[in-house]
Amino acid sequence: MKKLTGVARIWRVVILLIVGFYLLLPLFSMAEFSTRAGADGGRTLDSWAAIPTAPDLLASILVSVQLALLAVLGILVLLVPTMIWVHLRLPLMRRPLEVICMLPIAIPAIVLVVGIAPIYRWLSQFFGSSPLSLAFVYTILTFPYAYRAIDTSLRSVDVNTLAEAARTLGASWPKTIMGIIIPNIRNGILGACVISIALVLGEFTIASLLNYETMQVVINLLGKREGQISVAVSLAALIFAFVLLIAIPTSGKKQEVAQDGA
Amino acid sequence: MEPKSNAGAAVELKSLRRAFGNVQALNDFSLEIDQGELVALLGPSGCGKTTALRALAGLQDLDSGQILVQGEDITHVRASKREMGMVFQSYSLFPHMNAQENVEYGLKLRKESRKKDRRARRAIEMLELVGLDTQSKRYPHQLSGGQQQRVALARALAIAPDVLLLDEPLSALDAKVRSQLRDEIRRIQLELGTTTLFVTHDQEEALGIADRVGVMSGGSLAQIARPAELYERPTSALVAEFVGLTTPLQCEVRDGVAYLLGSSVPVLPGSVTNGAAVALLRPESIDLVPDPQSQSQVLTVSFLGSVCRVVVQLEDKTLLTVQALSEKIGDFPPGSHVGFAFHGSPVFAKPVA
Amino acid sequence: MTQAQIVETGSSQRGAGFRRIKRWLPYLGVVPFFVLVAVFFLWPTYLVVTQAFVADDGSFTLEYVKTVATEEVNLNAFRNSIQVSAVTAILGGVFGGLLAWAVANGRNHGVFRRATLAASGVFAQFGGVMLAFAFLATFGFNGLVTLFFADHFGDTILSNPTWLYGIWGLCVVYTFFQIPLMLIVFLPAVEGLRGEWREANDSLGGSTWRYWRHVGGPILLPSFLGAILLLFANAFSAYATAAALISQGSPIVPLQIRGALGSEVALGGAAFGKALALGMVLVVGVVMFGYVLLQRRVSRWEQ
């Protein structure tokens, strides 16, 4: 890549400073707000220490984590095999599958919840009022992001040739998929799982309107009563999600072909 | 007023230096190109040839050195003011413009072609030159790789550049298109008389197209000469080995004559002149003769048209590649015993490693 | 001979039938996936679209749709939603686009790029409720900036934070997740600009301005407009941040729907909610259609 000229470099710094200030100021405010001690301007970590004692919070975090794991499970046992299968055996289904997977972006969650409420009333006959039944709809909400991560991986390794090679060497379909394809799109799958976890942990709309107590719902309720604690939890959750996402392997990008560096 | 003719300018690169970290991409690199000449820079990856070309284009800063075009120092002139037409390896066409718009792009910036119809005429003329005038409304994604490179060539030539710079323009194409386009570049270059610098790692390409070929190594020129001279009279082992096919063979040199394969042959200037050495033999510098007493045996024969390439296993198991006329190949079936005769053209002998 | 022929024909007929089954067999593999999607996504969407026209007694009615399309409070909610979405899509698009350029011109695999992308993912897709709290801590009644302005500048707009709970407050907060979303969506396009294009422009005598005006700009334009549409749809659909920020009143459509769902006891509350949702589907549908058209144009240029 060509180095920027002097003027462009100054512009770059200016842009980073302005946008960076706007994006970091609220985070700084959260840290400041959650560590206030009274009106005299002292600092205390009391709010942070009080997080574990906040009513319902730990239980709701547990629920959200379980939901996230269930959504990951859904991606692993449903989306990944379906995508690989369609890629290898049903090329005609590729376009429909993509459209279906992308649809949740086009249908707002607030719209979906309107239509899904009756279905969940019916579902509660089987699952009781367990919030874990949210896993069904959450899995679908993760499809657009998971699809893109896995699809990039699938495209970058030419799975069809790999599969043909494995098949001509005598591997069965299950062996081909488990032993050859999946290891080669590992990064894409990992990325899909991480994004899905973040997405489920952050979901509020559906849980709140179907009256399930997930982490976001409880944090929101907490905000009405314990402002400082809720801000502390929020910041902690944001930092946690950041750490989670930064661990995503840089997947999908094709290896750059070695070129004449001269 | 019509755009000026394409007559090129003489170029002089004086001891260019450029380092990337610890790597000396250009190390005291000097080169002169005459007006209207086509010089090819040849070398392996990382030898600095592309850096040299980009330095001439103004796309690469230098640590030191001087660049003169027609005697004028342009070392510190910006790329956009240098009047160089450049053709890249691939993908350099603007994807949202059709072929004609691509060719017109450079013209729009120039006073003499502000008029729209004049500009269009010039663009069509250029596309005609590269044989694409019927495809002028096509977009890059509708053109084949070879056609894209033709448009890129037309675009570079449309501004009547002082120097035409070709940065491995053929390496992304398949073999047949490559040799076709190579010949065409040469035809156009001769027709317009544009001074041209052509960078490639493909020696056949370089030898086939250029007036002179410079072999680069470690950021400087190892040798620059006409193609035939470069091939027949390399001045260093590096050039001998990089240009054309050679088989290294142990030999004994005494007073400028190498003794090997039961025969003798003079060595080139720059070679080892006395003592043990390694001779670098060209396939066509040796003739095969039937010799039932010999311990050397023909291993394989591959047919290349009027000549065949014969691999011979010598007594000590080393393999020697020799060229033979196809009409005589019946005398040397695989397994037959053969002897050798030099036809006198000198060989290069390098020191034993 | 004849018998053999019959047998042969018979077996080949069976073979054809078997082959036909075999050809369809692979489709079984995708059934579980489509069942899940049908039950938990396609069916509810279908319900929203159709039930908006069904009255309490099960008969067809245009009553609810008419209410949504004519009542001032509903129209106002749509107007507000569109305004917030448009403003934040453009602000997010411009600043996010500049940010994408700044990130693309940094070191390719550097820590900075990685951290920026991860943070963008968090803000754009995880934030929701927490972003509302972030802005309450900044511009709320006891927020950092509010107190700072109250202390140093007395009575200014920033020291009286009621604006935060209105339309312009939503704009400021939404822009916070629109900029990172823009970065994520737009960065690939910026990184797709080839160095050769810039260098070709330079060697043909073009300036920096000319490059952006005639090459870089036009190439990025479809991607940019597409990203703006995506941002619009994103803001239009957003619920969590607004819900956490605004607990009384329903200035935008998603909050109107919350109200409708909360008051199901009221006559036709659910169907009214569906009519509002139908309106959202229409708006987002049009926007996403434009997005797909632009995407198609972008992929044509890719080689």
Answer whether A49 touches C (CB < 8 Å).
no
Rounded mean pLDDT, B124-140: 92
Q: How confident is the model at residue A36 (pLDDT cuts 50, 70, 90)?
A: confident
What are the pLDDT digits (tens) for A85-98? Answer: 998 888 888 889 99
Short-list A141, A76, A171, CA closest to C126: A141
Beta carbons of A25 and C145 less than 8 Å apart: yes
Q: Give the span between the Cα atoms of A101 and A134, in whole angstroms.
A: 18
Query: Which residues from B are below 8 Å from A6, CB to CB?
Result: none
The chain C residue lying nearest A227, using CA atoms, is C133
Chain A nearest C-alpha distance from B232 (Å): 27
What are the pLDDT digits (tens) for A14-33? Answer: 999 999 999 999 999 999 88
What are the pLDDT digits (tens) for C227-261? Answer: 999 999 999 999 999 999 888 777 899 998 888 88
Which residues, other chains included, contact B137 with Cβ-Cβ below 8 Å and sequence gap of 6+?
B98, B99, B100
Chain A nearest C-alpha distance from B352 (Å): 30
Q: Give the span between the Cα atoms of A24 and A21, in whole angstroms.
A: 5
Q: For chain C, which chains pass the contact test of at least 3 CB pairs under 8 Å?
A: A, B
For C71, other C-beta atoms within 10 Å of its C-beta total 11
The whole-number pLDDT of residue C301 equals: 67
The chain B residue lying nearest C203, using CA atoms, is B80
The whole-number pLDDT of residue C302 equals: 60
The whole-number pLDDT of residue B112 equals: 63
The whole-number pLDDT of residue C248 equals: 78
Which of A118-156 are b and which e, b meaning 16 or more Cβ less than 10 Å from the residue's Cβ?
ebbeebeeeeeeebebbbbbbbbbbbbbbbbbbbbbbeb
Q: Reading across the β-sheet that carries B38-42, which strands appear in turn? A: B84-87, B163-167, B195-200, B38-42, B212-217, B220-225
Q: How confident is the model at residue A50 (pLDDT cuts 50, 70, 90)?
A: confident
Q: For chain B, which chains pass the contact test of at least 3 CB pairs under 8 Å?
A: A, C
Whether A248 shows a pLDDT value over 90: the answer reads no
Greater pLDDT, A241 or C159: A241
Whether A142 shows a pLDDT value over 90: the answer reads yes
If you search the block for the tokens 């003489």, which residue do you land on? B10
Short-list C12, C30, C10, CA closest to C20: C12
Percent of chain A surpassing pLDDT 90 = 40
Interstrand relation of B257-260 and B247-254 (parallel, antiparallel or unpaired): antiparallel
Whether residue B277 contacts residue B352, with contact meaning beta carbons closer than 8 Å, is answered with yes
Greater pLDDT, A137 or C127: A137
The whole-number pLDDT of residue A156 equals: 84
Q: Give the span between the Cα atoms of A108 and A141, in whole angstroms.
A: 10
The whole-number pLDDT of residue C29 equals: 82
The whole-number pLDDT of residue A39 equals: 65
Q: How far is CA A225 from the centre of its chain?
A: 29
Rounded to two decimals, the pTM is: 0.85
The packing angle between helices C217-237 and C72-104, to 10°, is: 140
| pLDDT in 10s for each residue of chain C, 303 residues | 444 444 444 445 566 777 777 778 888 888 999 999 999 999 999 988 888 888 777 788 888 888 888 888 888 999 999 999 999 999 999 999 999 999 988 876 678 888 898 899 889 888 789 999 999 999 988 888 888 888 888 777 777 778 888 888 999 999 999 999 999 999 989 988 888 999 999 999 888 999 999 999 999 999 999 999 999 999 999 999 999 988 877 789 999 888 888 765 444 566 788 888 999 999 999 998 998 888 887 777 664
Beta carbons of B92 and C197 less than 8 Å apart: yes
The whole-number pLDDT of residue C81 equals: 94
Which amino acid would we find at residue C258? R
For A42, other C-beta atoms within 10 Å of its C-beta total 9
The dihedrals phi and psi of C122, each to the nearest 5 degrees, come to -65, -50
Percent of chain B surpassing pLDDT 70 = 97
Average pLDDT over chain A, rounded to an integer: 86
* Radius of gyration from C-alpha coordinates of chain A: 23
Answer whether C8 touches B (CB < 8 Å).
no
The chain A residue lying nearest C128, using CA atoms, is A202
Beta carbons of B43 and A2 less than 8 Å apart: no
The whole-number pLDDT of residue C262 equals: 74
Whether B21 shows a pLDDT value over 70: the answer reads yes
**SS3 (DSSP) at B42:** strand
The whole-number pLDDT of residue C111 equals: 82
Answer whether B61 touches C (CB < 8 Å).
no
Chain B nearest C-alpha distance from C226 (Å): 17
Whether residue C269 contacts residue C261, with contact meaning beta carbons closer than 8 Å, is answered with yes
Q: Give the span between the Cα atoms of B48 and C131, in whole angstroms.
A: 52
The whole-number pLDDT of residue C268 equals: 56
Rounded mean pLDDT, A230-258: 72
Nearest CB to C237 within list A110, A202, A216 = A110
Query: Which residues from B are below 8 Å from C196, CB to CB?
Result: 88-92
Beta carbons of B155 and C200 less than 8 Å apart: yes
Answer whether B45 touches A (CB < 8 Å).
yes
Whether B118 shows a pLDDT value over 90: the answer reads no
Average pLDDT over chain B, rounded to an integer: 89
Whether A101 shows a pLDDT value over 70: the answer reads yes
Whether residue B319 contacts residue B312, with contact meaning beta carbons closer than 8 Å, is answered with yes
Whether A110 shows a pLDDT value over 80: the answer reads yes
The chain A residue lying nearest C290, using CA atoms, is A106
The whole-number pLDDT of residue A97 equals: 92
Beta carbons of C45 and A115 less than 8 Å apart: yes
The chain A residue lying nearest B200, using CA atoms, is A260
What are the pLDDT digits (tens) for B158-175? Answer: 988 999 999 999 988 888
Greater pLDDT, A256 or B250: B250
Beta carbons of A262 and B50 less than 8 Å apart: yes
ipTM of predicted assembly, 2 dp? 0.85
The chain A residue lying nearest B216, using CA atoms, is A262
Chain C nearest C-alpha distance from A204 (Å): 6
Beta carbons of C44 and A116 less than 8 Å apart: yes
Token code pair at residue B190: 């001769």
Chain A nearest C-alpha distance from C297 (Å): 17
For B91-234, where are the alpha helices, taking DSSP H only?
A: 99-108, 116-129, 145-158, 175-192, 203-209, 227-232
Whether B6 shows a pLDDT value over 70: the answer reads no
Token code pair at residue C81: 């939603």
The whole-number pLDDT of residue C3 equals: 47
Which of A45-81 are b and which e, b meaning 16 or more Cβ less than 10 Å from the residue's Cβ?
eebbeebeebeebeebbebbebbbebbbebbbebbbb
DSSP codes, chain A? -PPPPHHHHHHHHHHHHHHHHHHHHHHHHHHHHHTEETTTTEE--HHHHTGGGSTTHHHHHHHHHHHHHHHHHHIIIIIHHHHHHHHHH-GGGHHHHHHHHHHHHHS-HHHHHHHHHHHHHHHHHHHTT-GGGGHHHHHHHHHHHHHHHHHHHHHHTTHHHHHHHHHHTT--HHHIIIIIIHHHTHHHHHHHHHHHHHHHHH--HHHHHTT---HHHHHHHHHHH-HHHHHHHHHHHHHHHHHHHHTS---SPPPPPP----
Whether B131 shows a pLDDT value over 70: the answer reads yes
Chain A nearest C-alpha distance from B306 (Å): 35
The whole-number pLDDT of residue A68 equals: 95
What are the pLDDT digits (tens) for C171-200? Answer: 999 999 999 999 999 998 998 888 899 999
Which amino acid would we find at residue C124? A
Query: Which residues from A are below 8 Å from B50, CB to CB?
Result: 260, 262
Nearest CB to A19 within list C33, C99, C195 = C99
Nearest CB to B49 within list A2, A259, A262 = A262
The chain B residue lying nearest C297, using CA atoms, is B96
